[in-house]
């Protein structure tokens, strides 16, 4: 049976990085905590090189997330960026999210990450 993203709620889900490009600051030690209120997504994250971070975004009808983020890294620098994330349901029922992001601070480079739901 196919699952429809518009019926899914990210609220209360936790995710961990499984793959990241070199210019990303998150790692397998970074945990993302998702909260959803209707189409609003609020994410907090920390761990690894991240002291504390926040993302704010909107959930599209297909489950795609459009977000802006900022965090304080262990070097004491606040970094900012934008991210578009596309969900994928894995065979075990967990969610994998494919992220395409771009720094809006510092070098303004782009990258890709994959995060997976933690059970």
Q: Total domain count for the chain?
A: 1
Q: Cα 42 from chain centroid?
A: 10
CA 85, 33, 69, 78 torsion: positive or negative?
negative
pLDDT tens over the chain, length 119 residues:
344 455 568 999 999 999 999 999 999 999 999 999 989 999 999 999 999 999 999 998 888 999 999 999 999 999 999 999 999 999 998 999 999 999 999 788 999 999 999 98
Output the pLDDT for position 62.
85
Residues shown for the chain: 119
Note down the domain range covering 35.
5-117
> pTM for the full model?
0.91
Assign residue 75 the CATH number of its domain: 2.40.128.30
C-beta atoms surrounding 5 within 10 Å: 15
What pLDDT shows up at residue 36? 95
Q: CB neighbours of 50 closer than 8 A, spacing ≥ 6?
A: 25, 26, 30, 71, 72, 73, 74
pLDDT computed for residue 6 by the predictor? 55
- Asked if 109 and 103 count as a contact pair (C-beta separation under 8 A), the reply is yes
């Amino acid at each position: 049976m196919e699952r429809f993203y518009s019926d899914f709620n990210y609220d209360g889900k936790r995710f961990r990085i499984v793959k990241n490009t070199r210019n990303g600051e998150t790692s397998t030690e970074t945990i993302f905590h998702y909260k959803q209120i209707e189409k609003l997504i609020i994410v907090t994250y920390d761990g690894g090189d991240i002291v504390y971070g926040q993302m704010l975004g909107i959930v599209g009808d297909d489950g795609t997330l459009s977000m802006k983020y900022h965090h304080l890294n262990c070097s004491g620098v606040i970094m900012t960026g934008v991210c578009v994330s596309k969900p994928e349901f894995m065979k075990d029922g967990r969610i994998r999210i494919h992220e395409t992001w771009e720094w809006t601070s510092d070098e303004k480079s782009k990258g890709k990450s994959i995060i997976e739901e933690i059970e």
